[in-house]
Amino acid sequence: MKNNETVVVTGGAGFIGSHLCKYLLEKNYKVICIDNLVTGTLKNLESIKSGDFIFINHDITEYIEIKDNLSIIFHLASPASPVDYLQLPIQTLKVGALGTHNILGLSKSKRAIMLLASTSEVYGDPVEHPQSEEYWGNVNPVGPRGVYDEAKRFAEAMAMAYYRQQGVMTRIARIFNTYGPYMRMRDGRVVPNFIMQCLLGKEITIYGNGSQTRSFCYIDDIVEGLYRLTQCDYPMPVNLGNAQEISILEFANKVKEITRSKGKIVFRPLPEDDPKKRMPDIKKAKTILNWKPRVGLEEGLTKTISWFKNNL
Give the Cα separation of 258 and 204 in Å (integer): 14
Model's pTM, two decimal places? 0.95
CA pseudo-torsion sign 183, 231, 165, 139: negative
| 135 tagged catalytic | no
pLDDT of residue 275: 76
Domain residue ranges in the chain: 6-180+216-243+278-294
Q: Which CATH architecture has domain 6-180+216-243+278-294?
A: 3-Layer(aba) Sandwich (3.40)
Among residues 148, 163, 182, 227, the one annotated as catalytic is 148
Rounded to an integer, what distance in angstroms lies between the CA atom of residue 244 and that of residue 125?
Answer: 18
Neighbouring-strand partners of residue 30: 6
Predicted confidence pLDDT, tens digits, the chain (312 residues): 567 899 999 999 999 999 999 999 999 999 999 999 999 999 999 999 999 999 999 999 999 999 999 999 999 999 998 889 889 999 999 999 999 999 999 999 999 999 999 999 999 999 999 999 999 999 999 999 999 999 999 999 999 999 999 999 999 999 999 999 999 988 888 999 999 999 999 999 999 899 999 999 999 999 999 999 999 999 999 999 999 999 999 999 999 999 999 999 999 988 776 778 889 999 999 999 999 999 999 999 999 999 999 998
pLDDT at 2: 62
3-state secondary structure of 8: strand
Calpha distance 218→207 (Å, rounded): 23
Q: Beta strands of the chain (E only): which ranges?
A: 6-10, 30-35, 53-57, 72-75, 113-119, 170-175, 178-179, 204-207, 213-214, 217-218, 237-240, 246-247, 265-268
Whole-number pLDDT of residue 56: 98
